[in-house]
Amino acid sequence: MNYWHFFAGVGALLNDFLAVISVVGSAVMLLSPSRANSFADMSVVPLVFGVICQVAMRITGTMPASIGFFKFSPQLVDILFAVALVFLALKIFLSLLRTRRSTL
């Protein structure tokens, strides 16, 4: 058993929960006006860990029909991780735009 199989096994158990946490945290981070939100900051860790686990399931060929506690399909988990990534990228873009405007 190598590392990819370990991450694939963890992903089969937890990836739907990680996807939901990352989407909710990224949405909170996007909508909050300040940077002082620790729950939103912690949404990055489930996003990165969940994407690693999802890639490991694809590499090892152990993608189950339904993933985790909520029994989401693998496609829905992929979409949730993509939405979380878009929210984070949008937050970074808006904060860069805000700092650029304040310097003008």
pTM across the whole model = 0.89
d(CA 56, CA 42): 22
Domain total of the chain: 1
Q: Residue 40 has what pLDDT?
A: 66
Give yes or no for residue 85 having a pLDDT over 90: yes
For the chain, percent of residues with pLDDT exceeding 70: 90
Structural domain harbouring 74: 3-103
pLDDT 10s digits, 5-21? 999 999 999 999 999 99
